[in-house]
Every structure is written in structure tokens, then in C-alpha cells.
Structure 1
Amino acid sequence: MTAATSPAAGLLACWRSARPGFLVLSPLCAGLAVTTAWQDGHAPEGHAILLVLLAALLAHAAVNLFNEHHDFVSGLDATTVRTPFSGGSGSLPRHPEAAGVVRRAAFACLAGVVAIGAWFLWRSGPVMLLYGLLGMALVVAYTGWLTRRPWLCLAAPGIGFGTLMVVGANQALTGTFSATALAASLVPTLMVSALLLANQLPDIEPDRQAGRHHLPIVLGPRRAARLVAVLVLGAYAVIPLAWLGGWLPAWALLMWLAAPAALRLAVGLWRLPAELAPGDPSPLLPWLGLNVALLLASLALLNLGLWLTA
């Protein structure tokens, strides 16, 4: 910490850079690991459940902190139009002296994930090392490397919040692979990737200038928005198909209470214009907000449906 940064200012910068408003996503995803374990007849210990939820929060915070630091030092923050859903928190542009603190906080969060992962590795066996190494790679490589590889950039958030936080955490809790967890994980896998894809739409030109190469740059805003719609509707198609296949209980269909909002989002995104005015994200904001709300509501309803039949 530099002399110009007080401890209080450093902590505040870290808190804002972690984007706490978005961290609720992590316990909802990791919660699926718990509810699918219950669905399969397991009874994980309370401390193990708390550690899974804590690891998910720390991993999510680490990604956000690394992203904030990278976007600040690369100069990207100076060229983006900030929205409630994109462009970062704005914490470091306001307090540039706290950049080092934020970077150290990111590594501290990552160290916490490693410590928890080591305990589960000892407890649940060497298979957990595969999940852990992949998770570490995604956290460290996402902003600086994966954002330059369009399809990997699309897949990485869904793998992190879906496959790793649901399937991996379920196996950490139960010691076994679960088809129930795999089926449930497809919802966050598709919807979180859709969320990050949609949130890249306002930043196409600044990201292009900064050397990024994600799908909105490759496809253009209209086709990228339509891909978001397809991913969201695909997540809703998973539930009845998994129920018919015997992988999820009928109560998982509770998620379909949010289906009208999903359809509205898909139609709105499909009708977006082929081009967006640079620096004017206003046409996107209603759909970006609905996308966030839909993701959180969908995961909450799915968790509730699994819990009701556990």
C-alpha cells in the first residue's frame, strides 16, 4: 500500500472492486451443489457446505478484483462508458493509488480458494485437483488471455459458475460424481455465459481498441445479442428435458415460473438493431437489467425446487 492510500480507503476500493452486488450469483450457483447433493440422498456436513459457499464467493471476488486491476492498468477504464452492468466499478479510476491493494486482495482471495480446495482434496480425493486446477486457470487467465479468444471467452464463465461450482462442489461434498448435479449445472453454464456475453455488448469499441477479441466484436451486436437469447432459452429447455430423462425431479420445473421473463428477454434481444451508437448503451440497459434479474431468479427457483424434493 502506498503512503497516499489509507487502510480505510484501500479496503473501500477493494470492496467496490469486488463488485459485491454481483457476488450473490456465487452462492446461488454453489447452492445447486448442495441441493443436488440432498436430492441424491447425501447429507453434507454444515461446515463443508459453508466452505463450499465461501470458496465460491472468494473465487468470484478474485475474478472481479483481477479484472478491475487489469482494466485500470491497461487504460481500458478510461475509454469505456460505465453502466450498472458493464465497464467496471469505477473504483480505481477514482482512487488510482489503491491499484496495488486491489491486486493483492485478488491474490489473497485466490489463496483462500486454494486453502479450501486443499482441504477438499484431502477429504474427497485426487479428482478434486482437476477441478481446482481448471478453476485456478480460469480465474487467472480470464481477463488477460481468454478475452482474446472468442469462443473460449464465451465458454469460460459458464464452465466456472456451472461445471466447477455445481458439479465440482457437489463432488467435493459427496465424494462421488452426480448426474443430477451435471444436469442442474447446465442452467448456470448457459445463463452465466449469456450474461457475460450480453455485458460485453456496450464495450465493443473500447474492448477492440484494447486488443480484446470476444464474440460481440466478431459477430457484431445483433448476432451476439441473438446468441444470448439462444443460450437463455436453451437453459430453460434443459429443465423439462432433464426431467423427462430422469435426471431432475418435477419440482425443478418451478424455474419455469420465470419463463415469461425469459421469453420477453429473448424477443427484446432478437429485435436489437444491427448497429449500436458508440458510447450510447441506453438501448441495451433494460435488457441487461432483465438478464441479471432473470439469471438470479432462475437459479433461486431451481434451488427451491430441488430443496422441496430433497
Structure 2
Amino acid sequence: MNVWQIWWLAIRPRTLPAAAAGVVMGSALAWADGSFQAGPALAALCVALLLQIGSNVANDVYDFERGTDTSERQGPLRVTQAGLLPAAQVKRGMWIIFALAAMFGLYLAFLRGWVVIFIGLAAILSAIAYTGGPFPLGYYGLGDVFVFIFFGLIAVTGTYFAQVGSVSAAAGWMSVPVGLIVTAILVVNNLRDIENDRKAGKHTLAVRLGVRGARIEYLACMMIAFAILPVLILLNIVP
């Protein structure tokens, strides 16, 4: 396996559609309002994908350093745990990825002002803090909240704002089902890892709720997400 194949494993490309979902929704709403702009939309997509990739790489190395990723772990191969890349090299790659995300973010900040810089810094810090730092969000059951906020609320409204310069009620409301669906994906992953996480002391929300509670959370996320859309259409909030 060459170095490019190893990094391909580290970035976990199967997670990228979830990162793109909010950008696609925000761009679709901007299009419906006649305000779609390809440049900001593409920049927002690059930011979202790079933040997801950076978060994946950060999780790879920080979960290993905390002893969560072991040979007993289920799911996709983690390159640091497997010894395919040293932790220091993975961290350097993580910072390069976040720097690239910041470059696209600066373009959006040039268009829409300092608030974009604030949101971008919060996103990068949260992506690292998901499994790294003194208070890793994912280890304290806060990962689901992080995903809902950044992959739903901020992704949709931020993409819309980047193109239009304001946030519509439709963008705000449609960010909710997007965030819930992406959160449901996280719940499935956490259910898969629940036993390993429990042994490692990683208290995800799935670990805290238990298998039954996590399944209820998944069903609630999906049911609410699909129930919201017809209500928004009936109320003429979305086109």
C-alpha cells in the first residue's frame, strides 16, 4: 500500500457526502431564491469537505492516542492504530488540511465579513475538539450536538449566507432535517462502536443512552427530519 492509498484511508471518503449535504441544501435554497452564486457555493463546499477530512484525520490520531482505537475496533481501518503512518505525520497532515479550509474561508470572509472568520475558527476548533484537547466533545456525549450544529444549522445557513448575504427562514428551518439526518448517521456509527467505546471510556451519547436509547435517538432523528418537510411546505416556508 503506497502513501496515497494510506492517506485515502485516513480521510475516509465515504463520510464526505454527509459533509456536502448542508452545502447542497443551502445552495439549492439560494437557487430557488434566484441568488445562487457558483463561486461562494464552491468555496463553501471546499470548506465543508476539508473540515470533514480534517476532523476524520484528527479522530484517527487522537482516538489512537487516547487508547480508544485498538485491534478490537470494528469499522473502517484507522491508519495511526494500524501503524501505517506515525502520529506526528498524521497531525501535520491534519493542520495542512485545516489550513486549506481556512484559505477558502478567507475568500468567503472577504465577501461577507468578519462573522465568517468567527464561524470558521469555531468550526476548526470544534473539529479538533471532537476527539482532541482537554475536553473532547465525543468523549462526553456532546458529539451529536456538534454534528447537528455544524453539519446542519451552520452548513445550510452558512452556505446560503455566503451567496445571498442574509439568512432566510427557509434556510434556517431546512437546516434542521439536514442536521438530524447527519446526526442519525453518527448514531449508527456510535452504535457499531458502543462496546469498544465503553471499554475505552469514550462516553458517547450512545454509550450513555445504551443500545435501546440510541436506537430510539436514531428513529427520532429520522422521523422528525422527514416530518418537518411537509409541514414547512404546507406553511409556505419552503418553495
Q: Could you tell me the TM-score, scaled by structure 1's length?
A: 0.71
- Structure-1 residue corresponding to 2:44: 52
Q: Name the amino acid aligned to 1:156.
A: F
**1:129 matched to 2:131:** no
The yes-or-no answer on 1:66 pairing with 2:54 is no
Select which of 197, 211, 215 maps to 2:187.
197
**Between 21-30 and 173-182, the greater mean CA deviation after superposition:** 21-30
Which residue of 113, 117, 123 corresponds with 2:101? 113
Q: Does 1:17 align with 2:10?
A: yes
1:67-100: CA deviation from partner (whole Å, max 9, x where unpaired): 11112222322154323xxxx4333333344433
Could you say if the C-alpha distance between residues 91 and 108 of structure 1 is closer, same or farther in structure 2, counting changes exceeding 3 Å?
A: same
Letter in 1 for 2:122: L
The alpha-carbon deviation at position 234 of structure 1 amounts to 0.4
Whole-Å Cα distance in 2 between the matches of residues 243 and 202 of structure 1? Answer: 35
Partner of 2:139: 148
Task: Work out whether residues 29 and 162 of structure 1, in 8 Å CA contact, stay in contact via their aligned partners in 2.
Answer: yes
1:136 partner amino acid: I
> Is contact 1:13-1:95 (8 Å) kept?
no
Question: Equivalent of 2:73, from 81, 84, 95?
Answer: 81
Q: How far apart, in 1, do the equivalents of 2:83 and 2:3 lie?
A: 9
Residue 90 of structure 1 is matched in structure 2 by 78
- Deviation, structure 1 residue 192: 1.1
Instruction: State how far apart, in whole Å, the 1-side matches of 2:72 and 2:194 are.
Output: 9
Displacement after TM superposition at 1:217 (Å): 1.5
Query: Cα RMSD (Å) of the superposition?
Result: 1.9
Identity %: 29
Give CA deviations for 1:55-78 in whole Å, capped at 9, x if unaligned. 111011011110111122223221
Give per-residue Cα distances to partners, 1:222-241, cap 9 Å, x unaligned. 11111110111000011011
**CA deviation digits over 1:229-259, x for unaligned, max 9?**
011100001101111222212xxxxxxxxxx
Name the CA distance, whole Å, in 2 between partners of 1:226 and 1:52: 33
Distance 2:123 2:147 in 1: 10
Alignment of 1:244-283 (within 5 A): 244-249=234-239
Shift of 1:48: 2.3
**How many angstroms apart in 2 are the aligned matches of 1:214 and 1:22?**
19
The alignment partner of 1:92 has SS state of coil
Contact 2:51-2:101 at 8 Å conserved across structures: yes
Q: Distance in 1 between matches of 2:90 and 2:64?
A: 11
**Correspondence for 1:39:** 32
Aligned match of 2:90: 102
Shift of 1:105: 1.5
Counterpart amino acid of residue 242 in structure 1 = L
Aligned to 1:174: 164
CA distance 1:81–1:148, change in 2 (3 Å): closer
Distance 1:80 1:235, change over 3 A: farther
Equivalent position to 1:187, from 177, 183, 186: 177
Larger Rg: 1
Aligned position for 1:295: none
Instruction: Give the Cα–Cα distance (whole angstroms) in 2 for the partners of residues 220 and 166 of structure 1.
Output: 31
CA distance in 2 between partners of 1:124 and 1:164 (Å): 15
Question: Quick one: which amino acid aligns to residue 176 of structure 1?
Answer: S
Paired residues of 1:79 and 1:206 also in contact (CA < 8 A) = no
> Number of matched residues?
236
For residues 208 and 74 of structure 2, what CA distance do their matches in structure 1 show? 22
Task: Give distance in 2, aligned partners of 1:245 and 1:89.
Answer: 46
Structure 1 pair 100–242 and aligned structure 2 pair: CA distance change class (3 A): same
Matches of 2:78 and 2:139, distance apart in 1: 23
